[in-house]
Amino acid sequence: ERPETIRQTVAYHRELERIFGADKVEPAIFFIGLQPHTHLEQYGFDQGLIQPGYNPMSMLPWTARQLLWNPEPMGSTFGRICLEAFERNPSDFGRTVMDLLERDYGVAPLEQALHAPVEGRRALATATR
């Protein structure tokens, strides 16, 4: 994650709230998941955390738990925001995290967020069935 991708995520989330209603949009899985074809996936390959051809839908819970990590400089920022969200409103953690991210990073214009350029190297893994 980078500040610009956080602003994009906030933009997507706020648009979903606008469409469906804030009470119907729960960001409960925010921060969880490794998106294919991203720099973070490439980092996982480079560090030996995952192997090309892995199936992200078949990971065992203890393996997935080991991969719940964000590299610096954003890792400590996410930790600080999560702790603040737990202190402020533990019963609505996901929405509080989104509010804090918006407070600290702002929100990208939706049009810009929807047309963000894809950069980086070609992915080494492909999804399998």
What pLDDT was estimated at residue 30? Answer: 46
Helix residue ranges per DSSP H, the chain: 3-20, 39-46, 61-66, 74-88, 93-105, 110-114
Low-confidence ranges of the chain (pLDDT < 70): 28-35, 56-71, 116-129
87, 100 Cβ separation under 8 angstroms: no
Structure tokens at 16: 């979903």
Which among 34, 29, 61 has a CA at the least distance from the CA of 47? 34
